[in-house]
Structure formats: C-alpha cells, structure tokens
Structure 1
Amino acid sequence: MLEKLFTQHAPALHRYLLRKKCSPSLASDLVQDTFLRIAQLESLERVLCAPSYLFRVAHNLMIDHHRRFGEKRYENDSTAFFATLVDETSCPEEQALGALELEHLESLLERMPARTRDVFMLCRVEGMTHKETARYLRISTSSVQKHMAMALARIGRALEPDQEG
C-alpha cells in the first residue's frame, strides 16, 4: 500500500517542493523523508483518505530543514515563484488576466523595501507565522508585524480601483 502511495504521489510532491524553491536533490530527499514518516504511522487509511496529509508532512519537513540549515526558500527575485501560480487549466482569457494580476503584484513587491518584501513572502507565501518569520530573519515579532502592515497597506492602496499602482 505504501508503494502504491509513493507511485501515485511522489512526482507531485517533488514538483510541489521544487515550486517551494527546494533544489532537485533536496526535493528528492524530502520526498523520501515524507514517505519514511508515513511508513511509521500505525494506519495508512488517514493518508489514503486525505493525500493532502502527504503535502503537509513534506511542507513541514522542508520548513524544518530550512530552519536547521538557514537556507532561504525563495530568491529575492520572485519571478520564478509567480510563474508557478498561473492556473494552466483555466481558459486562455482567465490565464491572461491572472498573469496580469500576478505581474502587478510582483511589481508592487519589487518596489517594497527588501525586509518588507521578505517578511511578506515568508508570511503570506511560505505560510510562516509571525513568530517563525521573526526567528528566521532574526528580528523581533513586532518588526514582523510592522513590515506586514506596511506591505498589506501598500498592496491595498495599489489595488484600490481609482489608484494606479
């Protein structure tokens, strides 16, 4: 049963980790570690019913790895990340609109101070808590809150209908 799970989900897990800015070898290692963790479960029914559990385990292993070794999970140039967000299953018009919205957001992020952009990417893209982000960037939690407020205010102002970025 574990072999079937691996065959079904390992390629998708690997792609997911690559989109999260893991190197190919790290992504492969984390996929293997994910299935080692799954193998230790008393019952695989939980995983069979909810394959998203695999992705959560892989994501947590990635976060643990980056905390332990202090690597950045994304590059300051967010272009590669935003390129992965366009929904290729939607119609061409929706893809084009989505790509334009992502370009606009990417442009906004590029104009933000580096620290504010890093805090936003870690909290909103990587899903880290304020406390985790503070520890990762070696700043205070209140600084994280300040940078998030600044980033969200800038994005909010830029998205107002009568504003031009």
Structure 2
Amino acid sequence: MLLDIAIEHDEFSYKELSDQLDGLLARLPIKTRAIFIMSREDDLSYKQIAKKMNLSIKSVEYHISKVLNKLRKAL
C-alpha cells in the first residue's frame, strides 16, 4: 500500500515536471527551442547543430546556456 502511494507520487511528480518543461520550452524563441531539442532529444553535437542551423558553435552554446539557465530558475 505504501509502495503504491510512493509510486503514484513519483508518477505525478514526473508528470508535473514534464508539464513544466513543456511549458517552458513552448515559451522559448523558435530558434532556441529547436537548438535545445536537437541537442537533448536528437542527441546532436554542438558542431552538428551549428552546421545544420548555419550558426557558429558559440551561438549554439549561447542558446543552450540560455535554456539551461531558465530551467534552473524555473525548477
């Protein structure tokens, strides 16, 4: 019984966290969101993203850093 409650709580916490992340990503500028998704979901390197988006690697680093800072503040 206690284990079931703990599991339900963890699932709820995960859903809540996932919803917060989705909301934050939805409010990002399109380019920043695309770069973050390519990095985290598509598992592309900064170099690959830079080439694909026609940006410098420093620009990609900037966009990723911007998202991570927003995530830290929000969570």
TM-score, normalization by structure 2: 0.83
One of 57, 61, 69 as aligned partner of 1:153: 69
How far, CA to CA, are the matches of 1:153 and 1:114 in structure 2?
Answer: 17
TM-score, normalization by structure 1: 0.40
Tell me which residue corresponds to 2:48: 132
Deviations 1:15-61 (A, max 9, x none): xxxxxxxxxxxxxxxxxxxxxxxxxxxxxxxxxxxxxxxxxxxxxxx
Alignment length, in residue pairs?
A: 70
Work out the percentage of aligned pairs sharing the same amino acid: 26
- Indicate the structure (1 or 2) with the bigger Cα radius of gyration: 1
C-alpha RMSD over aligned residues = 1.5
Q: Structure 2 unaligned runs (5+)?
A: 1-5
Task: Extract structure 1 runs of 4+ deviating beyond 6 A.
Answer: none
One of 94, 106, 119 as aligned partner of 2:22: 106
Kindly state the Cα deviation for residue 152 of structure 1 after the two structures are TM-superposed. 0.8
Q: Structure 1 unaligned runs (5+)?
A: 1-89, 160-165
Structure with bigger RCO (C-alpha 8 Å, 6+ apart): 2
From the two aligned structures, give the one with the greater helix fraction: 2
Kindly state the Cα deviation for residue 119 of structure 1 after the two structures are TM-superposed. 0.8
